[in-house]
Each structure stands twice: as C-alpha cells, then as structure tokens.
Amino acid sequence: MMLRENEKKIILSKNDYFRYTHKLADMALEGSFKSSNAIQTNYYYDDECFSLHGGNETLRVRQINESLSLQWKKNKTYVNNIHCCDEFNVSLDYLPSQIIANNNIYYNIGCLVTNRKNIIAEDITISLDENIYLGAIDYEIELESVDIDVINKYAVNILNFPLDEFASSPGKYSRFIARIKTFKEMPSQYVL
C-alpha cells in the first residue's frame, strides 16, 4: 500500500521533551484527543555506500509489538519545512537480514528504538519521541497530517511554535546515518 506522508518534526532538548510530555498529557485529558504509547523499532537497510540515503530514500522494517512492516520512503520533498514523501508499506512475517530490490541488495545496518507518545485528533497525529540508537539518545516532536495547513495550525496555535522557528529537523534515518559516519571516521582503536 502507498501513502502520502506529510510531517513536521523538530529536535527537542530533554527539558523540552518533558515539558511537551506534560502538555500532551493535558491535551489528552481534555477529551478531544486520543492518546497511545508504543515502543517501535526501525531496522534500517542500505548498501555499503549508503546509496539509498544518498538518494534521499529510507528503507526500513518497523516493528511495533509483534507486528513487522516493510516501509520504503521515496520521492522526498520539503514544502514550507514539512517533510513530504511517498511511503510504501507491506506486512512481513519475519525480519530479513537483507532486502533485494531494484537489482540491489540492501543489508540490515542497525536499528533505532523509539519510545513514542501519540496524541491523535481527527485531522492530525502529534508524536513525542525518545530515540535510542548507536549509543545516542535524542528527543523530537512530530506533527503528521494529510493537510499541511493543519500541521502549521497545530504547530502555532496549540504547541506555540512560531513558524519561522519551527524549521523541520533531519529525520531519524538521517541522524542514524550521521551517527554511523562518526564511527567510520574514528581511528579503529575506538570502534567496537
């Protein structure tokens, strides 16, 4: 199945993460939002040259509980600091060590674990994420909707982000690859 994804995301400090945790909990208590929590693991796939990343694509298997889903994000663009892409999804029965597509072999290069708190309204999902990967922890907030104007409305009116300060941050996969590259640049005696 193919979906069009529109999302705005920003990296948060640990303090801001906890501040927004309380704000989202208050929103859920107001009753106009549903809330959910999940631990999700993204298993990333690419070749040795990171050509998918270089082509602005993400190939991953996402695991939530026992459910596995192969996801391929393509045709990424940015409109008014909003990440837009086509996302292809298919359910899987097992976690593959490699994926063959377009006459290329893509290997599992690692994973990123997210503790996710969702606030869901009719027209938007707001996710507050704590991401753990390759010895790093970061925090982010994501706003996802089919309507770009709805994303901006919630960013400004509900979360009080001025639009000019709410430039989208790099996605999880880009941060994951940047972290891998720091290990590759280290002298070999520091790499495990």
CA–CA distance, 33 with 16 (Å, rounded to integer): 21
Residue ranges of domains in the chain: 2-185
27 or 70: which carries more pLDDT confidence?
Answer: 70
Residue 29's pLDDT band (boundaries 50, 70, 90)?
Answer: confident
pLDDT digits (tens, 9 = 90+) for 149-169: 999 888 887 777 765 555 678
Decide if pLDDT at 128 tops 70: yes
**Segment 76-124, tens digit of pLDDT:** 998 878 899 999 999 999 999 999 998 999 999 999 999 999 999 889 9
The CATH topology of domain 2-185 is: Hypothetical Protein Pfu-838710-001 (2.40.320)
* Cα 142 to Cα 12, 121, 123, 188, distances in angstroms: 10, 14, 14, 36
